Every structure is written in structure tokens, then in C-alpha cells.
Amino acid sequence: MAFAGIAFVFLLLVGIPIAFVVGLVSLWLMFNAGGAQFMLLVPQRVFAGLNVFTIMAIPFFFLAAELMTASRAIEDIVKFADALVGRLRGGLAHVNIVASALFSTMSGSALADIATLGSIEIKAMETMGYDKRFATALTVASSIVGAIIPPSIILMLYASVAQVSVAAIFLASIVPGLLLILLLMAVVVVLARKYDFPRRDTRLSSQEFMAISVNAALPMAMPFIILGGILSGIVTATEAAALAVAYILVIGLFIKRSLKFSDIPGCLLRAGVMTSVIFMVLATANVFGWFIGLERIPETIAGSLVGVATDPVMLLLLIVGVLLVVGMFMDSGAALIVMAPILAPVAVSGGIHPIHFGIVMALTLVVGLTTPPVGPCLFAAASVSKLKIETISLAMLPFYAVQVVFLLILVLVPEVSLALPRLAGFLN
């Protein structure tokens, strides 16, 4: 196993895609353990990793986000966010956060947030006199809300890997998502007073506010369709995702008429590419997960960690520390797929609820999207803003402090993530 770990790190460092790294390491481990007879099981385990009805929701959510972007619904969302908080001191900074929160209910992805909103937000803030470094850092910090609030792709992955209820994990993420939004807005309030940030001087009339709200109402209804359908039991998560795609097509093609039939092939292609990356990792990680289960590695690690940290809180803090380091070097989705089969049994054996652990694990890895040296959101923002990674990272320091506080609250106060699922009857 030591050699496998070294090989894993080496292959990642030389730039081999994570799906191939996991696959190659898994093949070597299985051949070394059982020879040719184990190798015959590889195709079966690859198929088993994808033969899960729940994960079929992932390509639909990717497609829904692409269609939402192509239909220019994002413009209505930004205008609605500005109508809500644009008059506050540092209004555009607050708009940045609120717009990310609203868009997250449709995209489920932090990178999608930066790709669609990033250029709009950074350019608008710079025009209004904000420091470009601050505008870019705030855009990176607020983007991870997209990976927290349902329909979060990374939470869908955890539900699939850990075999927990999608509805429960989605409910569990709502309060943490709102908490992060409030913490980010609190930082903006403090900085706005210190640096005298500008605000929108013009007031919107009630008629203007109503018109903006009506335009945003149709796309804003999508999250209620998704969560409402799942929680009511009318549809499964996969069916809700397919329903969301149909809903956006109807809005874009026939009601708002901002989406053209010629836009759809491009949306399908981009969603297909993103899906293929996730599914390849899922397939190879299932081989890896099956092997470590067979070798009873989670039980061994559990015994070691529980021996070091007998208290559930200390155990969870120790795991968070490990995941923060992992998240600095691996994509959050890939890291979750690889690490969840190892760490989830450890957490459960240490007295941590699997839903609580799933929220903490997923959101800790999501923080890794914003941290150097590999943070994908940093690179995406650098591409949009034309700033260096080091410059953005330095400007991110206040937001890194917020992220640490956020994770500590999640660890120390389990009810932040468990209250809604418990209220809905998903927990005993």
C-alpha cells in the first residue's frame, strides 16, 4: 500500500488525469493481491460503479445549468440580486454573493458560477471603483456557495458513494449554505465601512422592482421544483433533474424565447464532457473502493484514528485537517469519490452521523477549490480577471479566515446540518 500511495501522488504530480491515476493504482493493487483472477473482476466493478440510478441525475443537472446559461436567465438573476441588495454600502459586492447564491440553486457547481457570473461581476465591480483584486477574491469566495446549496453535484456524489438519502443530504446543506452567505456578507459589511465602498444611488420604483421580480420568477422557480418534487416523494432526484431540464427548455424556447434550438447541441456537448469526467472517476474509484473494503483498510484506519482521537469532535477535526490538505491538490469531486469509502466508515464508527459527516467532508473539499496550488476556482478566476494566482490568493486571506470559521461551526454544531433533515423525518 505504501508503494501505491507514492505512485498515486507521483502520477498526480506529473499531470495524469485523476480517473487514470485511480484506475492504474487500483489495477496494480488488485493484480498484486490476487493475480489474474482479481483482474477479471475489474470490468464488473467498473460497471457496478456506474450502475446506480441516483447518479443519472448528474448529467441532467449539468445540462440544466448549461441551458440556463444559454437562455441568458443569468442576466435576470443578477438584476434581481441588485434589486434586493444593490442599495447597501458595498452593494455590488453583496450582489456578487446573492447572485452566486441564486445561481447555485440551478447550477450545483462552483466552476459554473465563475464561468458564467465571474466576468460579469468582476467587470461591473471594477467599473464602479472596486479594487480588482478584491472583486476577484470575492467572486472566488462566493462561488463555492454553488457547490453547497442544492442541487449540489458534490453532495449527489456523496449520496451515491455513501448510500445515503439524496433528499436528506440536500436538506442538510441548506442551513450551511445560508450560513456561508451570511458570513461572506458580514465580511463585506466590515470592509465596506473600512474602505468606503460605493453603493447604487438610484432607487427602484415599486413598478421597476416588480418587473425585475417577474422576469426572474420563472428561472427562480426551478429549485422549488427540484426540492419540492424530491421531498414530497412525487419524483426521485433523477426524475427531478430531468424535469428541471424540461422546465428550462420550455421557458427558454417558448416563454422567454431567449434560447434557440441551435444552442442546444453545444449545451449537450459541454454537459456530456463534464459528465464523462465525473463518470470515469466514479467507475475507476469503485474498483479502488471495492479493493480497500476487501482488504479491510477502512477498519484499520478507523482503529488508528479512533485510538488517536476518542472524542467524535476531535476525530472530525482530524479528518477535516486531512481533507483540507487533500483538497489543495485534488479536485473536490474526485477526492470525495476516492476518500469517502475510506473515511465514511471511520466517521460512523467514531459516533459521527453519516449525514453530518457528508456535509463536513463535502464542504471541506469544496473549500479546496479556492486554495492554492491546484484550486480550480482560482485558475478560473485568474483566466477571467487576468490576475496572477498569487495575487488572488493574497486577496483571499479574509475569506480564508471566514472559511475556517465556517468549517469549525459545521464541526462543533452538528445541528446546523442535521436540524432540517431531523425536522423532515429523515433522521431517527
Instruction: Name the band, by pLDDT with cuts 50, 70 and 90, for residue 410.
Output: very high
Q: What's the chain's average pLDDT?
A: 83
Q: What would the grid cell of residue 426 be? A: 429523515
Q: How confident is the model at residue 24 (pLDDT cuts 50, 70, 90)?
A: confident
The pLDDT tens digits for 146-185 are 788 888 888 988 988 888 988 899 999 999 999 999 999 9
Q: To which residue does cell 452538528 refer?
A: 414
The string of pLDDT tens digits covering residues 33-81 is 766 666 777 788 778 777 776 678 888 888 887 888 788 777 788 888 8
Cα of first residue to Cα of last residue in the chain, in angstroms, is: 38
Grid cell locating 338: 476516492
Which has more confidence, 9 or 188? Answer: 188
What does 336-352 look like in DSSP terms, one character per residue? Answer: HHHHHHHHHHHHHHTT-
d(C-alpha 149, C-alpha 128), whole Å: 29
- The four Cα atoms 4, 6, 9, 11 give a dihedral, to 10 degrees, of -70
Q: Which three cell numbers stand for residue 287?
A: 474498483
Check residue 396 and give its pLDDT. 93
Rounded mean pLDDT, 132-158: 89
Quick one: pLDDT at residue 297? 66
**Interval 211-237 mean pLDDT:** 83
Handedness of CA 157, 162, 166, 167 (dihedral sign): negative
Q: Assign 299 a pLDDT band (cuts: 50, 70, 90).
A: low
Side chain identity at 27, as an amino acid letter?
A: L
Instruction: Count other Cβ atoms within 10 Å, centred on residue 91.
Output: 22
Q: Tens digit of pLDDT for each residue in 334-369?
A: 778 878 888 888 888 888 999 999 999 999 998 888
Instruction: Name the nearest CA neighbour of 74 among 36, 38, 112.
Output: 112
pLDDT tens, residue by residue, 377-386: 887 788 778 8
Alpha carbons 306 and 352: distance in angstroms, whole number: 12
pLDDT: is 202 or 141 the higher one?
A: 141
- What is the mean pLDDT of the segment spanning 226-233? 80
Confidence (pLDDT) at 210: 92
Q: How many other C-beta atoms can be found within 10 angstroms of the C-beta atom of residue 370? A: 24
**Per-residue model confidence (pLDDT) at position 128:** 80
Task: Give the pLDDT of residue 409.
Answer: 96
- Residue 106 near residue 68 (C-beta atoms within 8 A): yes
